[in-house]
Structure 1
Amino acid sequence: MDVTSWLLDGDPAIRWQTRRDLLHEPEQTWAAERASVEREGWGAALLDAQDADGTWGGSVWKPEDWDATDDTVLLLALLGAVPEGPRVAAALQRVRANVDWGEEWGHSPFFEGEVEPCINGRVLIAGAAFGSASERIVGLLLADQQDDGGWNCYTEDRTDPGSFHSTICALEGLVAYRDADGPTDVSASIARGHTYLLERGLMRRKSDGTVIDEDWLTFRFPTYWRYDVLRGLDHLRAAGVPADARVAEAVSLVEGKREADGRWRLEAAYPGRTPIAMEAVGEPSRWQTLRALRVLDWAASGPAL
């Protein structure tokens, strides 16, 4: 089948990213489709789900569900909703005016985050996308980087090993901040984090080469705070890191999951309540197909793959 045409028949979030990332079209050809994210499909449904007090799911954060404010605002950013759109602007104003992290964190405003890098990194992604990038979060992420270059939400000792889950959240946030022209120089911290991922082939222990977690070989979207190999590869691509031999095994894993018709399926989903339903497990997935194809396109341009 014509996979590109199939992608272009999808949600506005898929259409504009397909034009940018696979067809490499200039912004003027996809800007209108990106602007329509707030009016059609998944983006419009997310905005419809906002509570009157500015939260989603009645909470800033939930431990076992994915319909709270933090995950929903991040998803809006991943869809590419633009802050200038009237619906998005109104929703963000309600968040800024009413949503904070609660008494435990001194009622820190939503876009100022709390203390854990796995949460703060994701808040920084959304903040950078929506004009509310927090210098406080940047400072915390820079200060909290482990000696091995990763991040870990569950340690206070820099010599403890990093966590892939925490690391990918922190890295995505810092790169989003960098790409939004944030004033603090975060390049050295980003480079150390990328080395952490690459030295481990995006999936293996540095000590003995074994796979750290077999679940990382199963691809889901949305990923929330969780790491998997496709998420790691798509981050390196978006961050502008050249593909080299250290990602070859991970890229081969992605290629091996391509179906005979050229598409990728949604292999699984994390349990828990979500604000909207996007794609069905086991069915061809536009999200996974788009992400996999742009990773393979990136890998094909690498110097040593």
Structure 2
Amino acid sequence: MAMPDVGVDWLLDADPTLRWQVERDVVGAPSAVWEATRARTTVEGHGARLLSLQDHDGQWAGGAFFPAGFVDSGGDGQPWTATTWSLTTLREWGVDAEPLRRRGTAELLAANARWEYDDLPYWGGEVDACINAMTLANGQWLGADVAALVDWFAEHQLADGGWNCEWVEGAQRSSFHSTLNSLRGLLSYEIATGDIRVASIRRAGEEYLLSRNLFRRASTGEVVGPWATRFVYPARWVYSVLGAADHLRMAASVDGVGPDPRMADAIALIRAARRDDGTWLQGGRHPGAVWFQTDVPPGEPSRWLTLIGTRVLAWWDDHHR
């Protein structure tokens, strides 16, 4: 996979959580190479550090979605340290679940963790589509029985094909944010389990995004919001065309198809954001407490965003040469 100007060595000079993906997706290294790097994520670097911060009761920061005792002051942003965010981060980094399984994390969370919403049991999920998507993927990863959440997504898919976390407040139109987060969780579960129920649900949600070219309002064709073209790592729950394109790249691989042509305008936006040296700049940081920083400050070249942007453009270009 060719990269303009920027040295691959710069990308490889990274924490194992990122390096193994560079080796696989950019360098095209043999599986034995990147699998060996991936195995290191449990014993060194960011992965090992985050694993070490788990509480004895299986949680992080003493809470399910928010840290224990968190009170929303309205100005400091949401903390990203609690259990759901920590598990999601580890899983998305490619950290092996075995250390957590050995600790009995799924069972500990079943016994000790409750959602802040209505004190609901952890592995049953709650009413928020984004939260339930993370719970679906994290539960499968840890060996919890979360199959019922697939039915939840089928039952709560809106008429336009997507999801909206505000459905409990009466929302009838899908949200770009909620839909992408739901799709990520469903795809992760589908890849791991082969559950035949998932594909049709997922593809309807992807059609919601594709029919809007990944960033346009269906009603006016205008850009749905400035966040759609702002690239930030970690993305958290916030939508961008880069995140959507990377999801669709993975989904296309599962489905055995090429890129959908309706992505062309979004791909052009991603390409335009690439600097002459082949890097993408960090677009900001979502406010809120973190355990530790995992990427560069805003305005600096981001290895994470460069990895994602490079593999998205390579996938698209490989199918259009």
Cα shift readout 1:240-259 (whole Å, capped 9, x = no counterpart): 26223211111111111112
> Per the alignment, do residues 91 and 300 of structure 1 end up closer, same or farther by CA in structure 2, a change over 3 Å counting?
farther
Aligned-partner Cα distance in 1 for 2:272–2:100: 40
Residue 109 of structure 2 is matched in structure 1 by 96
Distance 1:45 1:260, change over 3 A: same
C-alpha displacement at 1:133, in angstroms? 5.8
Gaps of 5+ in 2: 67-71, 73-77
Aligned counterpart, 1:194: 206
Shift of 1:108: 1.0
Matched, 1:290 2:307: yes
Residue from 117, 125, 134 that aligns with 2:146: 134
Mapped contact 2:100–2:142 kept (Cα < 8 A) = no
For 1:253, what is the secondary structure of its paired residue? helix
Is the 1:70–1:123 contact (alpha carbons within 8 Å) kept by the matching residues of 2?
yes
Tell whether the 8 Å contact from 2:59 to 2:109 is kept in structure 1 after alignment: no
Change (3 A) 1:255 1:177: same
Shift of 1:128: 3.3
Aligned residue in 2 for 1:249: 265
Counterpart residue number, 1:31:
35
Q: How large is the RMSD of aligned CA atoms in angstroms?
A: 2.3
**Quick one: distance in 1 between partners of 2:262 and 2:312?**
14
Aligned-partner residue type, residue 43 of structure 2: R
The share of aligned pairs that are identical, in percent, is: 37
TM-score (norm 1): 0.91
| 2:112 counterpart of 1:108 | no
Counterpart CA distance in 1 for 2:196 and 2:124 is 16
- Alpha-carbon separation, structure 2, partners of 1:269 and 1:159: 28
Q: Distance in 2 between matches of 1:103 and 1:296?
A: 40
Offset at residue 51 of structure 1 (A): 2.5
1:77 to 64, 88, 91: 91
Unaligned runs of 5+ in 1: none
Match 1:276 to one of 289, 292, 296: 292
AA aligned to 2:114 is W
In 2 relative to 1, CA 5–129 (structure 1 residues): closer, same or farther, beyond 3 Å?
farther
Secondary structure at 1:180's aligned position in 2? Answer: helix
Q: Within 2, Cα distance between the matches of 1:127 and 1:282?
A: 35
What SS does structure 1 have at the residue aligned with 2:281? coil
Amino acid in structure 2 at the alignment position of 1:293: T
